[in-house]
Structure 1
Amino acid sequence: MAIQIRDVTFGYSLKHPVFERLSIDLESFPAVVLGPNGAGKSTLLGLIVGHLKPKLGSISVGGHARGKDPRRSRRTTGWLPQDVKPLSGFTARQQVAYAGWLKGLKYSAAWTSAAEALESVSLSDHAAQSASKLSGGQRRRLGVAQALVHDPSFLILDEPYAGLDPEQRSSVRDTLLAVSAKTSLVVSTHQTEDLEDVYAHVLVIEGGRVIFSGSTAKFYEGVPESVAPAGRAEAAYRQILERSRSSEPS
C-alpha cells in the first residue's frame, strides 16, 4: 500500500501556488509530516484524501487514482481535518455513526462501530452528550473517532493532538499505535516527543517543498549523543530546517 504524488501543482489562487510540480512517494507507515506553520501540511493531506483537487498532476492512494472513484475513496480513507464541526442536534455517538454511514456502513453496523470508536479515544462517557457541548479537546477526539469508525485502509490525521492535555494525548497515541498495525497511517503534527516510538517514516516540508523524506533512523542522523532523549526529535527537525535554509540561494 503506497501513496504516490506525481508533479502536483495546487494553489488557492492562480498567482500563488502552494505546490508546484510536487512529487512524493510514501511506502513506509506510520508516516509523520512535519513543517513550520504555512508550509503546506494541511493542504498536502487535503490533496491525499481528495478533499482538494490538484490543478495539475496526479495522486494515487493504494494503487487507485484519486478522483476517479470517490465512493471507493470514502470507503478506504479516514480523514481528520483541523476543524471538527459538531452536527446540530446530534449526540457524540450519533455523529460518529453518521460518519460511518456516509462511509458506506449500514446504519446498524455504524451504530455499533461508533461505540467502539468512541471507547478507543476515551469518549464513551460522553457518547450520549450533545456533540455541540463537547470541549475543544473532546471534539478533537470525536474527530479521530469519526475517522476510525469504518476501519479504513488509510488513516490521514491533521494535528490529532491539538488541544489535548498530556493524558488525552497519551490515550490518542496508544489508539494510533494500535490502529497502525492494520492501517496505513499519515499524521501531521507539531508534537514530536513520541516520534521515535510511533513513526517509521518522516516527511518534512517547508515553503511547499519536500526538504526531507526518509526513515525515522535517517531523520535522527547527525543529532549529537549529548542531546537528551526528550529533545532529539526537535534537534533533528531544526537541523534539517537549518540545512535546507543554508543551501538556498541568497
Structure 2
Amino acid sequence: MPLRFTDCSFSYRADTPVLDHLTVDFPEGCTVLLGPNGAGKSTLLSLGASALAPSTGSVTLGRADSVRRRDRRAYRQRVGWLPQDVKPIPALTVREQAAYVGWLKGLSKSEAWDRSADALNRVRLTELGGRKSHELSGGQLRRLGIAQTLVHQAEVVLLDEPTAGLDPVQRGVFRDLLAELSTSVHFIVSTHQTDDLAAIYDTVIVFDRGQPVFRGSVAEFFSAAPAGTAYERRAESAYRGLVRGEV
C-alpha cells in the first residue's frame, strides 16, 4: 500500500465518462468506500483489480503498474477482488474452488491446494471444505469469496458490496471476520451501509460522480454531521451532506 489511481479516466460509452482524470490513493488498513449508485465505486474497484483498464492514467501498488503488461501478473497476485456476486463453481467442493482460483492467479496446482487449507481456516470454513460450493449459504459463499482472495496471499483485498443481501446475523459474522483479517491484510470495501464504521474501518472515502468528495478518519467523517445530530444518526447525516444523490 497505498493502492494509487493517478489521472485515471474510464468510460463505458465514449460520451459518458464514469471516471475523469481521477487521482486518489488508498492508505494502509481498512478503508470503506461510500457513495450512491452510479458514483463509480464498482468501476473503481474493477480498475483496482485490473479487470478493467483505464483509458488514461495508471493504477499502481508500490512499483507494480496494472496497465504495464510486464507487471500485470505480479500486480494481480498482490491484489484480491471479491465482486458483488460470488459464483459457486458447479461440481467443485469448497476447498477445490478456493484452490482453483489460486491456480488461476498463477500458483502451481500443489501450491494452490496447500494454501487453500490455510485460506479456508482464516475465514472459518475448514469444516465445510468437502462440501459442494453450491450448497453454501449466502454468508458462507461470501466467506469463500474472501478465502479465494487469500489463497495467493494478496496484500490488498477489494470487496464490492460484500454484505448486500445478507441477514443481520450473517452481516455480523462478516463484520467480525473483516475486523480479524484486517490485522494482516489491507481492505477496501465498497458499501452503502454506514453501520459499525468505527468498529471496522480506519479510513472513510466518500465517492460521488466519479470523484472523492471526502477522505479522512472515521472520527473526521462523523464530525461532518451537523451539530446536534443524534449519535446513532451521525454517519447517515454526514453522508447525506456530502453527496448529491444517485446519478
Same fold (TM over 0.5): yes
How does 1:94-173 map onto structure 2 within 5 Å?
94-173=96-175
Q: Counterpart amino acid of 2:65? A: A
What SS does structure 1 have at the residue aligned with 2:173? helix
What's the counterpart of residue 86 of structure 1?
A: 88
Q: Counterpart amino acid of 1:192? A: T
Structure 1 distance, partners of 2:137, 2:12, is 31
What SS does structure 1 have at the residue aligned with 2:22? strand
C-alpha contact (below 8 Å) 2:4/2:25 kept by paired residues:
yes
**Displacement, 1:19?**
0.9
**Displacement, 1:129?**
2.1
What SS does structure 1 have at the residue aligned with 2:10? strand
C-alpha contact (below 8 Å) 1:153/1:184 kept by paired residues:
yes
Segments of structure 1 that go 5 or more residues without pairing to the other structure are 246-250
**Cα-to-partner distance string for 1:133-180 (whole Å, 9 max, x where unaligned):** 333333222212211222211111111112222222222222222222
What SS does structure 2 have at the residue aligned with 1:203? strand
Q: Counterpart amino acid of 1:82? A: Q
| Gap change, CA 1:105 and 1:178, over 3 Å in 2 | farther
Q: Counterpart amino acid of 2:104? A: L
Structure 2 distance, partners of 1:172, 1:118, is 14
Structure 1 distance, partners of 2:140, 2:225, is 36
C-alpha contact (below 8 Å) 1:48/1:61 kept by paired residues:
no
When the two structures are aligned, how many residues end up with a matched partner?
Answer: 243
Query: 176, 189, 196: which one pairs with 2:178?
Result: 176
What SS does structure 1 have at the residue aligned with 2:120? helix
Structure 1 distance, partners of 2:238, 2:145, is 30
Structure 1 distance, partners of 2:76, 2:224, is 41
**Displacement, 1:10?**
0.2
Structure 2 distance, partners of 1:8, 1:33, is 17
Structure 2 distance, partners of 1:83, 1:27, is 26
Structure 2 distance, partners of 1:62, 1:195, is 27
What's the counterpart of residue 248 of structure 1?
A: none
Structure 1 distance, partners of 2:121, 2:167, is 18
Structure 2 distance, partners of 1:203, 1:28, is 13
C-alpha contact (below 8 Å) 1:100/1:149 kept by paired residues:
yes
Q: Counterpart amino acid of 2:236? A: E
Do structure 1's residue 3 and structure 2's residue 7 form an aligned pair? no
**Displacement, 1:230?**
3.5
Name the % identity: 46
| Gap change, CA 1:183 and 1:28, over 3 Å in 2 | same
More displaced 10-residue stretch of structure 1: 21-30 or 88-97: 21-30
Segments of structure 2 that go 5 or more residues without pairing to the other structure are none
C-alpha contact (below 8 Å) 1:122/1:171 kept by paired residues:
no
**Displacement, 1:91?**
1.2
**Displacement, 1:51?**
0.8
What's the counterpart of residue 17 of structure 2?
A: 17
**How well do the aligned residues superpose, as a CA RMSD in angstroms?**
2.1
Structure 1 distance, partners of 2:15, 2:240, is 30
| 4+ aligned runs moved over 6 Å, structure 1 | none
> TM-score w.r.t. structure 1 length?
0.88
**Displacement, 1:77?**
1.0
C-alpha contact (below 8 Å) 1:40/1:205 kept by paired residues:
yes
**Displacement, 1:127?**
2.2
C-alpha contact (below 8 Å) 1:89/1:130 kept by paired residues:
yes
**Displacement, 1:54?**
0.5
**Displacement, 1:225?**
6.6
